[in-house]
Structure 1
Amino acid sequence: MRIITSLVSCLLALAGCDEKPSVTTIHHSSANGVDTLFSKSTLKEGVARFECYASESGQCHYRVYTEQCPTPAPGENPAACARTTLEDFVLAPGKAHEIHGLPRDFQQCVSKDANTDQACGG
């Protein structure tokens, strides 16, 4: 019986080893013990999932973008990066949004306010 139990445990452990890698980002801010923004995004197998848990304004405002930053020549100051917005969207707390096929170098910004330009630094 021990051998069967060990074998089953080993097989179950091996089955769990096939987990695909993922990247998770948490955005969380609070004031006086109250969440002003709480959001999570996960990138797994080419699918980005954005989840809004709490926002002081009642909405999480997202911007998904890429940036192209030229490499400066030696001795020159870095030039400004060119930002391309891929998608802007808004989620209410408890809601989620998925995007398929984003480029590997995509970036994201989330804000409690509708002015994502100011919150995202661009």
Structure 2
Amino acid sequence: MRIVTSLLSCLMALAGCNEKPSVTTIHHSSANGVDTLFSKTTLREGVATFECFASESGQCHYRVYAERCPAPAAGENPATCARTPLEDFSLAPGKTHEIRGLPQDFRECVSQDADKDAVCGA
């Protein structure tokens, strides 16, 4: 049985059934059983794909940014992190958006509200 399983795994890999490693982030909120926001971001091989599935406002509003947080000195409170916006965009449910070349440690904020500064805490 191990031989059959190994052979099948090899055949599937040759046929392209072996996906590359990826990181997926899901944002989901609901009220009274209704989705108010449902979004997915996948980072695979340097390409970030943003997908909007549902938004109460009719749009998923995204802010993609880099964040730099200086190390606090001994005995001090952590300093405020500096955020550099990389891209702001909105998607209707069912739409996707790809961004290539983002820094590996990029951050994102997604909201049903257009006021990204209030939602992202900037």
What is the TM-score normalised by the length of structure 2?
0.89
Q: Which residue of 2 aligns with 1:9?
A: 8
Task: Give 1:47 deviation, angstroms.
Answer: 0.1
- Pairwise CA distance, 1:83: 0.3
TM-superposed CA distance for 1:76, in Å, is 1.0
The gaps in structure 1 that reach 5 residues or longer are none
- Counterpart in the other structure of 2:105: 105
Q: Secondary structure at the match of 1:19?
A: coil
Distance verdict in 2 for CA 1:18–1:115, change over 3 Å: same
Partner of 2:25: 25
The one-letter code matched in structure 1 to 2:75 is G
Percent identity over the alignment is 72
TM-score scaled by length of structure 1: 0.89
Q: Deviations over 1:14-72 (max 9, x none)?
A: 43685311000000000001000000000000000000000000000000001110001
Counterpart code for 2:10? L
Aligned counterparts of 1:86 and 1:9: Cα–Cα separation in 2: 43
Larger C-alpha radius of gyration, 1 or 2?
Answer: 1
Q: Residues 12 and 18 of structure 2 are in contact (CA less than 8 Å); yes or no, is this contact kept in structure 1? A: no
Secondary structure at 1:117 match in 2: helix
Number of residue pairs aligned between Structure 1 and Structure 2:
119
Cα distance in 2 between the residues matched to 1:91 and 1:114: 11
Q: CA deviation at 1:75?
A: 0.5
Distance in 1, matches of 2:102 and 2:87, equals 10
Give, in angstroms, the shift of residue 114 of structure 1: 0.1
Whether 1:71 aligns to 2:71 is yes
Q: Deviations over 1:65-119 (max 9, x none)?
A: 0111000110111111110000000000000000000000100010000011111
- Measured in 1, the distance between the counterparts of 2:44 and 2:9 equals 26
Residue 96 of structure 2 is matched in structure 1 by: 96
TM superposition outliers: structure 1 runs of 4+ over 6 Å: none
Distance 2:99 2:78 in 1: 32
